[in-house]
Amino acid sequence: MMHRIFAKGRKQLGLSQELAADMFGVSQSTISRWENGTLEIPEDAVSRLGEMLRGHASAQADFMDALANGVEMQDALGTLINSLRSTIAGK
């Protein structure tokens, strides 16, 4: 079951298997095996993906709040993009 959740989370973040492999320090085939359930996903990879998803949701909420509070679209998008970059980079 975790393999399906991992794959869905990766896709929600808009990450290809290749990009996810770079981020997790593994090969694309390892990501594929994690997602098809033939290789157990390490606990730290599950935790990191969870952090990335929480950061993604938080960044989206901040973006919507900024727009609701009159921040210009371009400024709000810049903030969103920077936040997502930090989340993906694990900072």
pLDDT per residue, tens digit, the chain (91 aa), is: 889 999 999 998 888 999 999 989 999 999 999 999 999 999 999 998 988 888 888 878 888 888 888 888 888 888 877 777 776 676 5
- What counts of helices (H) and strands (E) characterise the chain? 5, 0
Residue 12: which of 54, 47, 41 has the closest Cα? 54
C-alpha distances (whole Å) from 50 to each of 6, 8, 18, 53, 78 are 9, 11, 19, 5, 23
Which residues have CB under 8 Å from 88's CB, separation 6+? 13, 15, 23, 52
